[in-house]
């Protein structure tokens, strides 16, 4: 099975990086299972910002798993 040569790979952004789209890499059921697992197991929090001294909690959920600090 060759996952990455099945279709033409499409770069979704053309500035400051690269995001490649690989269609049909997972079935719908597999993708749904991974989505549910990540939604349940990762600690998601609302993003918080300060604009002109005002603290704002956004509706956007984020999770950080970069470094240990």
pLDDT digits 0-9 by tens, 22-64? 777 889 999 999 999 999 999 899 999 999 999 999 999 988 8
Neighbouring residues of 42: CB distance < 8 A, sequence distance ≥ 6: 63, 65
Q: Which residue has the higher pLDDT, 46 or 10?
A: 46
pLDDT band for position 5 (50/70/90)? low
Query: Cα 63 from chain centroid?
Result: 10
> Is 17's pLDDT higher than 60?
yes
Cα–Cα distance between 21 and 14 in angstroms, integer? Answer: 13
pTM of the full structure: 0.51
- Bridge partners of 45? 62
Using an 8 Å Cβ cutoff, are 43 and 65 in contact? no
pLDDT at 19 over 80: yes
């Amino acid at each position: 099975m060759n996952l990455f040569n099945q279709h033409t790979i499409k770069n979704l952004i053309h500035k400051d990086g690269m995001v490649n789209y690989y269609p049909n890499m997972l079935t719908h059921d597999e993708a749904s299972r991974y989505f549910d697992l990540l939604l349940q197991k990762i600690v998601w929090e609302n993003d918080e910002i300060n604009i002109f001294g005002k603290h704002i909690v956004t509706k956007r959920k984020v999770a950080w798993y970069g470094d240990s600090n």
